[in-house]
Amino acid sequence: MKNKRLIRLLLGCILFAMAGLAAAAGFTFQDTQGKQHSLAGYKGKWVLVNFWATWCPPCVEEIPDLSALHDKHKDLVVLGVAMYYRNGQEVKDFAEQLFVSYPVILGTQASASQVGPISGLPTTYLYNPQGKLVAYNVGAITRKAVENYITKK
């Protein structure tokens, strides 16, 4: 019995370490304009990666706050990764109608796996200027919450 617990604990530690290594490696996305975005390319800046969908009410509600963050804080990059869409043009049109000012990426499960698990929408990951994952949130996030976090660190 103790051996089984020890084995489970060791396997859990190994999986956790592997997940940390994957996150440390970063990500690379291409936005709807064809521009490449990578965690390594934004060294020295905060990076907020927000997974969302056009049909998700909390996702839509947080878009104005994310645009305001992107526009106001030059030391913060916001990347919006659209998930579970019918076609790319639908996402582009939707983002244009909502005046999304930050880059929009057409996400897939494979591209999302570069960042981490998406257990619900919206899901937000925040990286510090050294590229380290420092916060993770499932559910809507506000401008104030992000500003409080980045100004305290």
- Where does the pLDDT of residue 60 fall: very low under 50, low under 70, confident under 90, or very high at 90 and above? very high
Domain limits, the chain: 27-152
| CA–CA separation, 101 and 58 (whole Å) | 18
Amino acid at 118: I
Average pLDDT, the chain: 88
**Domain 27-152 CATH (choose: 3.40.30.10, 3.40.50.720, 3.40.50.2300, 2.170.120.40):** 3.40.30.10
pLDDT single digits (tens) 73-127:
999 999 999 999 999 999 999 999 999 999 999 999 999 999 999 999 999 999 9
| CA–CA separation, 27 and 118 (whole Å) | 15
User: DSSP strand E in 1-153: where?
Assistant: 28-30, 36-38, 46-52, 76-82, 104-106, 123-127, 133-138
pLDDT exceeds 50 at position 16: no
- The predicted model scores a pTM of 0.84
Helix (H) or strand (E) holding 63: helix 57-72
Q: What is the percent of the chain with per-residue pLDDT over 70, rounded to a whole number? A: 83
| CA–CA separation, 147 and 82 (whole Å) | 23
- Where does the pLDDT of residue 8 fall: very low under 50, low under 70, confident under 90, or very high at 90 and above? very low
| CA–CA separation, 46 and 75 (whole Å) | 6
| CA–CA separation, 65 and 113 (whole Å) | 25
pLDDT single digits (tens) 22-40:
444 699 999 999 999 999 9
